[in-house]
Structures are given as structure tokens and as C-alpha cells.
Amino acid sequence: MHRSKKDGYFHRVHRLSPTRFWINNPTPKEAAFSIEAGAVACTTNPTYVANQLRRNDVPEAVYQIVDELNQEADSNDQAVDRVMQELIKPIMEQFRSLYERSSGEAGFVSIQGNPHHDDDAERIVNEAIEYRKLGRNFIAKVAVTPAGLKAIEALIELDIPIIATEIMGLPQAIATCELYNRVSERSGKRPALYVTHITGIFDEYLQRAAERHSYDIEPDILFQAGSIVARRQYVLMQERGYPGVFLGGGARGLHHFTELVGGDLHITINWQRAAAELIKSNPPVIWRMFNPAPEAVVEELLAKVPAFRSAYCEDGLSAEEFAEFGPVQHFREMFVQGWDSAARKIASRRQ
């Protein structure tokens, strides 16, 4: 049977389930492919510039942007930030028609600033105000840490849409949603809110911790950990009527998309090694979100994997521990490395 492009995997996901597909860190070409394939919005992160500059097919136009902004910047960090904004601007333009057609319910493009300043709430807010000038479909991406929560509070009052990111455990999601309720009630502002669970990065951290500490646990059980926490967070948000849309992220395998299909949620994945692979393999659309893990699996994870217990239990982390939580630190280190790599690459072109 011949299938049209509208019968591709993500179009069928959208037709047969409430789950929605976002693209992460795309080039303009990948953004165009993704929109055609059904993407409703886009995320980027602080590794964006480094990711673009390490590709084998970097367009000469990208280096022209780097070299031009290099001359104007006062520091390497400022150069990275300005290059990031300039590279993301056309992505925002590509998604703008989706934003306008949906009356602001789709077509968002996120930007997250310099990870070296994640502990500075005022700077996070000021970055978001600056990035908002790039387009109406901008959405701020802010880590759920003590400083990030302060920034989120200010952004709600400014009516700026928010992705609450780097959420690895239920306590972070609960703190975000309850803060939103308090501030929106006080201010009367209810900007769009997406509450992440960074499922793949969480799994990656647990796998490395298991190797480092020689956990006595079956790989098949450990494999399920991130999806178990993600499902628990989703159900909790639904049962409590919390604000915001659940947004899965940080995929490290195709199952970090397919295992959550069926939920009234959104998931952001990379084009390479994720979205393109799902389009090519074209698996059947099956609702897996509501397949519970056996109680014995959850109990073993709780007993043997401390970070899983901290993420799974509502009281597993205090707000003061959010920034230092192992999976959060693991994710942030990737952002710092990516940002610094871009800074070195840009600096080298001034020599």
C-alpha cells in the first residue's frame, strides 16, 4: 500500500494519539524536514553552537556569522551567545507560521542561555527578555534549580512562556507546578508552561552510576528506570490537575519516544539518530504510555539505585538539592562542555 508523507510515522502518531513531536537542536534544513514530518515546536540548548560547528556539512554562511559577530563581541561567552541567537533566528522564522496558525499554542522555539550562570536568577531572566526580541514564538528554557525557580517566578509575572527543564525527578516537577499555581493566582498571568522529564539523560546517568558502583541489578530492569519515572510524573500531573504540558526530552534511544506514545504530552528528540530513524523504520503507533512496570521492578530499582529513589519519591529531594542531584549535574556538564567548546572554536578564528 502506498503511503503519502501525511502517513509518515509522526503524522500517524498525531492522528492516532494525543502525543506530539518536537525537534531538538536542528539545522534549518532539519527544521524544514521536521515540520514536514509533523513537528509542532522546537527546542534548543546551550550546546547548539558547538553542535552546528562540529558537523561535517557546516555551511560557509555559518562561519560568516561567526566571524562577523566575533569582531563585535567583548568576550568569548558573548560571542557564543550572539552566534547562538543569530543561528536560531531562522529556525524561529520557520516555526512562526505554526505559532500564528495555532494562536500561540504551537510553533515555539526555545533558547537556554549560558550554563555558567545557571545560579544567577536575575541573569537568566535578563537573557530571556533579550531572546524574546527575536520573535513572538520564543519560549524560555530554564533549569529547575533554586535559582531557576526564582527565574521562573519572574518569567511568569512577565507572561513569558516557559519550558521548565533539567527535571529528573518528581520533586522538581511538583515544585515547578505548585510555584506556577501560586504565582499565576497572585499575578493573573498564565503563560504557556512545559514541564519536562529528561528521560534519556536520566537513564544515561543511572547506567554510568551502575557501572561505577557495580549495582547488582539486571540491565533489563535498569533500562526501564527513566520511563517509569516519566510515567509517574505524567500521571501525578494529570491526577492533581497541575498546570503545564508534560514534555519528554533528552532521548538516548528510540524507546524514549515510543514508550511514551499515548499520553497527552509532547516529546522533543534530535533529528539525527532519532526522528530520522523513526521515520525510516516507521514502527506501528502503539499506546505504551500506560503500560505499568511490574511492582517487583519498581521495588528493585528503589532498593538498589539511590538516584532512582530520589527521583521516584515525592520527598526524594529537597529544593536545595535540585542543582546538585547527580543526573542534573550530568546534564549541566554537557551544556558547559558544549558552550566552552563553541567558545574555543570561535576564539580560534580570531587568531
pTM: 0.96
Cα separation, 143 vs 22, whole angstroms? 19
What single letter denotes the amino acid at residue 135?
G
pLDDT score for 3: 53
Pick from 179, 49, 191: which is nearest to 112 by CA? 49
Which distant-in-sequence residues (6+ apart) come within 8 Å of 93 by Cβ? 135
pLDDT at 2: 42
Percent share of the chain, pLDDT over 70: 98
List pLDDT tens digits, range 181-205.
999 999 999 999 999 999 999 999 9
User: What SS3 state is found at 273?
Assistant: helix
| CATH dotted code for 5-348 | 3.20.20.70
* Whole-number percent of the chain with pLDDT over 90: 92
Q: In whole numbers, what is the pLDDT of the chain averaged over residues?
A: 96
- Tens of pLDDT, residue by residue over 90-130, are 999 999 999 999 999 999 999 999 999 999 999 999 999 99
5 has pLDDT over 70: no
Q: Please give the pLDDT value at position 152.
A: 98
Does 4 have pLDDT greater than 70? no
Number of CB atoms found within 10 A of residue 351's CB: 4
pLDDT tens readout for residues 215-244:
999 999 999 999 999 999 999 999 999 999
Size (the chain), residues: 351
More reliable by pLDDT, 7 or 110: 110
- Helices marked H in the chain: 9-16, 28-37, 48-53, 60-72, 76-101, 121-131, 146-157, 170-187, 199-213, 219-222, 225-239, 255-258, 276-281, 295-304, 306-312, 326-348
Domain edges within the chain: 5-348
pLDDT, position 1: 41
Query: How far apart are the C-alpha atoms of 113 and 93, rounded to whole Å?
Result: 19
Residue 56 confidence (pLDDT) above 90 = no
In the predicted model, is pLDDT for residue 8 greater than 50?
yes
DSSP-based three-state secondary structure for 38: coil
Pairing of strands 245-248, 162-165: unpaired
Q: How far apart are CA 48 and CA 278, in angstroms?
A: 22
